[in-house]
Amino acid sequence: MPVHDHLSRSKRPDGHELGRQEEQEEIKEASKLSPVTIYEVIRLDGEEELSRNKLSLMWSGISAGLLMSLSVLGEAIFRTYLPESPASYLIENLGYSLGFLVVIVGRMQLFTENTMTTVLPVLDRPGWRVLGQTATLWSIVLVANVIGAFVVAWFIAYSGAIDDRFMGALMHLSRHAVENPAALGFAKGIPAGVLVAGIVWMLPQAKDASVMIIIIFTWLIAAGDFTHIIAGSVEMALLLVTGNLAVQPAVFSFFLPVLAGNVIGGTAIFTMLIYGQTRRDREH
């Protein structure tokens, strides 16, 4: 064989080499994202949220508040039909995941997601401007979520669309959600905030498993009897519009303590731990 033919063939990748190149590309695609990459994905998402039109944020937040009622309805429907047993409690709490699943996969504005997403831009470039943007977004989304919760609570109570078989379970779940003393509601809000922030952190890596992660983590919120401010606002609103709860205990014993617990769990604990974990790597 002529030398030049041998050299020309040696320069061309054979089938084995091409196979190895394709395999290496697949390995790269399947490899785990680094914490720094995940941090940047969420931070950029937060930057995008901060620049969104305020009216769009409001409507997205109202939609989220409306659809979070699916968590309460789903749990009530399971409770209505399941027999009384210890296992039934674990199964009925799967219904709690329904609202979160629709809202998170549908990319609607849920306040507790923003306790992490829109905080990373503040930590990355601290200043009054970005802090003001974050505070404005939080205020808009929280108010919008609560508006949606009250609208759907009125619909549940007075439209006649919800079967009377489910109303007993809905009222029982709602009373249980708001009956905690303020200190206990605050404490139970912390794990819920951590779990929702954990969902936000894992979704960029989760890919096809994202639905399962949302279901498992939100089921854990319900099964652990933790308190979530937006799902709980639907229950609080249902009791308020039906005259079964006064405004003062609703605000000071439930809403504000649970809100503070969710923020502490999502921002002061989870987000700050992630920031500390990735800070040195991002600097390099």
Domains of the chain: 34-283 (1.20.1080.10)
d(CA 110, CA 14): 53
Confidence of residue 134 (pLDDT cuts 50, 70, 90): very high
**Contact indicator for 178, 236 with CB cutoff of 8 Å:** yes
Mean pLDDT, range 253-275, rounded to an integer:
93
Residue 27 is predicted with a pLDDT of 45
Confidence of residue 30 (pLDDT cuts 50, 70, 90): very low
Residue 123 is predicted with a pLDDT of 83
Residue 9 is predicted with a pLDDT of 44
How many CB atoms are closer than 10 A to CB 14?
9
Residue 266 is predicted with a pLDDT of 92
What percent of the chain has pLDDT above 70?
Answer: 88
Q: What is the DSSP letter of 52?
A: S
- C-alpha distances (whole Å) from 18 to each of 11, 22, 31, 215 are 13, 6, 20, 41
What tokens does 5 get? 């033919």
Top pLDDT among 150 and 271 is at 150
Q: How many CA atoms are closer than 13 Å to the CA of 211, on its beta-carbon side?
A: 4
d(CA 218, CA 226): 10
Mean pLDDT, range 10-39, rounded to an integer:
61
Confidence of residue 126 (pLDDT cuts 50, 70, 90): confident
Residue 22 is predicted with a pLDDT of 60
